[in-house]
Every structure is written in structure tokens, then in C-alpha cells.
Amino acid sequence: MLSADEREKLERGFRAGEASLRLEGQELEEPYWNVKSRVLAGEITLEQGLDEIDAHHQAKAFVAA
């Protein structure tokens, strides 16, 4: 379970990242929202979430190749 401070820090980080991607014209995909909710719920760590997102993008690149 995340403390209120940890959750707030993560939420700020997610918002900053989302804003940066939107400024670059990129859309956030469903795997991102799923990982975000699981990280904020304390179900997985941020590192695990980043690994999942990385694996998603690698698989997507492989299919496109």
C-alpha cells in the first residue's frame, strides 16, 4: 500500500509525463492507463510498470517490422 505522500509524488510524475507527451503530439495508449492505475493502487511498483510499458512498445515495434 502506498502512503499518501508516495501516491501524490507518483501522481505528479504521471501528470508531468502525460503533459510532456501531449505537447509532443503523442497519444497515451490503453496499456499506459492500466499500468498507471495499478501503480497508484500499489499493486505493482513503478519499475514493474515501466517494464510492462517497455515490453508493450517492443512487441508493437516487432509486429510493425
* Spatial CA neighbour of 41 closest among 5, 7, 15: 7
Predicted confidence at residue 21, as pLDDT, reads 95
Boundaries of domain holding 40: 4-64
pLDDT by residue (tens digit) across 16-49?
A: 999 999 999 999 999 999 999 999 999 999 999 9
Neighbouring residues of 27: CB distance < 8 A, sequence distance ≥ 6: 21
**CA 47 – CA 49 distance, rounded (Å):** 5
**pTM for this one?**
0.86
User: Which grid cell sits at 39?
Assistant: 501503480
Predicted confidence at residue 57, as pLDDT, reads 87
- Answer yes or no: are the C-beta atoms of 28 and 18 closer than 8 Å: yes
Q: Work out how many domains the chain is built from and give that number.
A: 1
